[in-house]
Amino acid sequence: MSERHEREGRILYGRRRGKALRKGQQRLIETLLPELAISLDTDRVELSSLFPENCREYWIEIGFGSGEHLAWQADHNPEVGIIGCEPYLNGVATLLGKLEEQLAKNVRLHNEAAELLTEKLPDACLDRAFILFPDPWPKASHNKRRFVSTSNIAALARVLKSGSELRIATDHTDYGAWILWHMLQSEEFVWEAEKPEDWRARSRDWPSTRYEMKAIEKGLRPVYYRFRRR
């Protein structure tokens, strides 16, 4: 079930909660999440003030689900400050458990729609962005709710540095075509694929997720797009 909710005068869609959290997860929501949460009570979010001084780059993952990919990236790239955006509280709780186990210091979280954060980020502040298996909103009448849109592509182009990378994956055939069409309409990004293998397979620094593996077991064939910011 999806939810329709409002924030700062705009309508947002997506689940906010699932089944009741376990006691340990609730503890993490009450104690660890406030330490990692990014406050939007400011005109501009300065990333250097959020992360340890050793962070040389800043990445963002929009819709991290249960956080397997984000936790892996944080563990393998301790010198990178990673922002995770995910409105679904149960997914946030699952990621918090992973971060606590890893003793990760380089992750900050935004438990709301990503649009609310990106509009407060400075120009050209991010080195990489991930949008992995976003909700496809398969009904034609719901396509307008898809995250990949002309306005969100423009917003990402503004906050991504020149030469930075945007990775987008989906296992939904129609959404895959939708993503490619919209991205190719943008003058700010270049699709890096030169041969089919470039978008049919993940690279070594692109770990799988449980959701992705379930999709593959069902016979679905995900696509893994890479775009470069001009």
Q: Are strands 223-229 and 160-170 parallel, antiparallel or unpaired?
A: antiparallel
Single out the catalytic residue among 41, 123, 135, 174.
Answer: 135
Residue 91: alpha-carbon gap to chain centroid:
12
Give the CA angle between residues 137, 138, 140 to the nearest 5°: 100
| Residue 60, Ramachandran bin (φ over 0: left; ψ between -120 and 50: alpha; else beta) | beta
174 is catalytic: no
- Orientation of helix 173-185 relative to helix 150-159, angle to 10°: 60
Determine the Cα–Cα distance for residues 169 and 186; give it in Å rounded to an integer: 18
Catalytic residues: 135
